[in-house]
Chains A and B, each alone.
Chain A
């Protein structure tokens, strides 16, 4: 009966079937699906590079690949994962799909620019993949000068051009979100009635618009020095290599918040929905997103503590870096307070949310270690740093991303995923992740440097544990790819609001019609007001 209804009704998925209807679509939901497919491919590619790195590190000798190949592997892993998966991950998929729906709009403010941003990501990704096929790049994802401008004989320009182009994709997404939130909120949807996911993506948009042009300019300067030998970063030409690091990290540190802020937005939705309570201290959580966006721009110098940066500047940056922990802590404490006396259900998205809170807390607190001038001297460029940022980016962003994908899957596809398999894979990911990256904290503290493929034999046990963890993690990532694809055809048909959630996106049928709302809703309730939602929920 319900299946028949699903087939009869016109929704965004069956409103046109040809390739043209997808490649020229201006529907934010279809563009979100295009992004979803694209970044899934990039995630798999980045995962293959990670697997090869972990395989090489099983033995102390550098015996699986040559040093040059190893340099290229970790560079391409970083470039793909950062610029082509993590940066677009939550905003370009779930943000694109749900931000307009959550504020009661029929699309983003600039639908054509939205499509353009996807094409820019494809074009940028094309250059990056060309660089890999042609022979790869070996500078590390950070492109530090003067190595990248003078000495590297690999495809630096092609890769940098790819990142340059993809950067405009990110800027346009951010711009679209900012304008949409300002101009297209439904009647009654005041700023403080917006879901926290919208606040988080709005703050992210501000970072994307203000920060990304700087990395674009920096890469152009690298190009100018490499091709025209204009002295900007190379001391031999009269330049200053530390200037590159300032410019690079002015963008790339806030870029961490481009990756994690939208993820925090997802967690706010999950924690509220699965504890059936409004988020504790809503205005604090909302403003903490804005605070992270602003303070995140004042801390970049903590990446330069041992790079020849002035010690006095180091003191300032260390001090400011401690400040950015405050709004992050506000979020973690408020999510935890939301759980108190909540009616908690342990559906898969909530398992990911719990995973996020624990792992992000470890990632964030170890961030304070490396923000301290003294400790940082000891752990700079060691596996401690690798473990720290993987706890934030994988333990944080990827956990939230997967939590969000499971949470909104019934809305996006009209089908439920298999709960048992999903819980199993969430468990695999949590165990695999910790087994992969926790040993790396110890390795780093003991002195194992990053970016080396040979190491002293006494580190082998921890490296083998890490590789074993990566294997479990890989299984955890492959499982959802299989059961989510399976559910597209065989999953039980989902109702319009399977979780009994409060957001306006759940007030539409699943999958939503092309124009989202037949009638633009008038918002009268606060965000997360569960008394306002009809409760015919089966809690899993």
Chain B
């Protein structure tokens, strides 16, 4: 199995993109977007994570099995968050008896 190695230029571009996104996160923090600010911050974070995984961690050129393992890990994180949220988001639906 031969390992694909990106050019220095690609790595440099990814690095610049990551630094740029970090600056963007900081700048957005100073703007009041209401509830939307969390969405923006998380969107930037996910983009950065994808860049690191795809380029620096070579996932882009990895086998399908490796991709499946990564997808599995993310799926399990989603299970943890989603099923926990079924509790936190619905707790208020039933009133407290007597109140």
Residue ranges of A at the interface with B (Cβ–Cβ < 8 Å): 182, 210, 214, 240, 242-243, 246-247, 250, 297-298, 300-301, 304, 308-313, 316-317
Which residue from B65, B80, B84, B93 sits with its C-beta under 8 Å from A182? B65
Contact of A313 among B65, B72, B73, B87 (CB under 8 A): B87
When the two chains form their complex, are residues B65 and A310 in contact, meaning their CB atoms are under 8 A apart? Answer: no
How far apart are A322's CB and chain B's nearest CB, in angstroms? 16
Residues A304 and B79 in contact, CB atoms below 8 Å apart: no
A-B contact count (CB 8 A): 46
Whether A210 contacts B86 by the Cβ 8 Å rule is no
Contact call A297/B79, Cβ cutoff below 8 A: yes
Of B73, B80, B91, which one neighbours A310 at CB under 8 angstroms? B91
Query: Which residues of B lie under 8 Å from residue A308 when comparing CB positions?
Result: 91
Structural contact, B87 and A304, CB atoms closer than 8 A: yes
Which listed residue (B72, B84, B90) contacts A210, Cβ 8 A? B72
Q: Which residues of A contact B13 (CB under 8 A)?
A: none
- Is the beta-carbon distance between A246 and B87 smaller than 8 angstroms? yes
Cβ–Cβ contact A310 & B79, under 8 A: no
Q: List 23 A-B pairs, Cβ < 8 Å.
A: A210-B73, A214-B80, A242-B87, A243-B84, A246-B87, A250-B84, A297-B76, A298-B79, A298-B83, A301-B83, A301-B86, A301-B87, A304-B87, A308-B91, A309-B87, A310-B87, A310-B88, A310-B89, A310-B93, A311-B90, A312-B86, A313-B86, A313-B90
Q: Is the interface of B mostly helix, strand, loop or mixed?
A: helix
Q: Closest 5 interchain pairs by CB?
A: A313-B87, A312-B90, A310-B90, A313-B86, A310-B91
CB of A316 within 8 A of CB of B93, answer: no
CA A250 to CA B84, docked complex, whole Å = 9
Residues of A within 8 A of B76 (CB): 210, 297
Alpha-carbon distance between A311 and B73 when the two chains are bound, in angstroms: 28
Residue in chain B with minimal CB distance to A309:
B87
Complex alpha-carbon distance, A300 and B84, angstroms: 10
| Complex-state Cα separation, A317 to B94, whole angstroms | 17
A311 to B94, CA, bound (A): 8
Contacts of B65 in A (CB 8 A): 182
By beta carbon, the residue of chain B nearest A312 is: B90
Given A309-B87, A309-B91, 13 more A-B residue pairs with CB atoms under 8 Å apart are A182-B65, A210-B72, A210-B76, A297-B76, A298-B83, A310-B90, A310-B93, A312-B90, A312-B93, A312-B94, A313-B83, A313-B86, A313-B87
Which one of A210, A311, A316, A317 has the highest number of Cβ atoms from chain B below 10 Å of its Cβ?
Answer: A210
Find chain A residues with CB under 8 A from B72 CB.
210
- Check A250–B80 contact: CB distance below 8 A: yes
A336 vs chain B, min Cβ distance (A): 32
Q: Assuming A210-B72, A210-B73, is B94 touching A310 (CB within 8 A)? A: yes
- The smallest C-beta distance from B45 to any residue of chain A, in angstroms, reads 18
B94 partner residues in chain A, CB cutoff 8 A: 310-312
Closest to A300 in B: B83
Assuming the A-B contacts A182-B65, A297-B76, are A310 and B84 also in contact, with contact meaning beta carbons closer than 8 angstroms in the complex? no
A371-B65 Cα distance, complex, nearest whole Å: 35
**Chain B residue with minimal CB distance to A211?**
B76
Q: For residue A240, which residues in chain B have a CB less than 8 angstroms away from its CB? A: 88
B80 to chain A, nearest CB (A): 5
| Contacting pair A246 B84 (CB below 8 A) | yes
Contacts of A210 in B (CB 8 A): 72-73, 76
Q: Who on chain B is nearest to A299 by CB?
A: B83
Which residues of A lie under 8 Å from residue B86 when comparing CB positions?
Answer: 301, 310, 312-313, 316
A149 to B17, CA, bound (A): 41
CA distance in complex: A297, B79 (Å): 8
Q: Please, which residues of chain B bring their CB within 8 A of the CB of A182?
A: 65
Q: How far is the CA of A11 from the CA of B83 in the complex (A)?
A: 51
Q: Return A54 CB to nearest CB of chain B, in Å.
A: 36
Could you say which residues of chain A place their CB within 8 Å of the CB of B90? 310-313
Within 8 A of A (CB), among B68-84: 72-73, 76, 79-80, 83-84
CA distance A310 to B90 in the complex (A): 6
**Chain B residues closer than 8 Å to A316, beta-carbon distance:** 83, 86
> In the bound complex, how far is the Cα of B78 from the Cα of A297, in angstroms?
11
A300 CB contacts on chain B under 8 angstroms: 83
Contacting residues, chain B, for A297 (C-beta < 8 A): 76, 79
* B38-81 interface (Cβ within 8 A of A): 65, 72-73, 76, 79-80
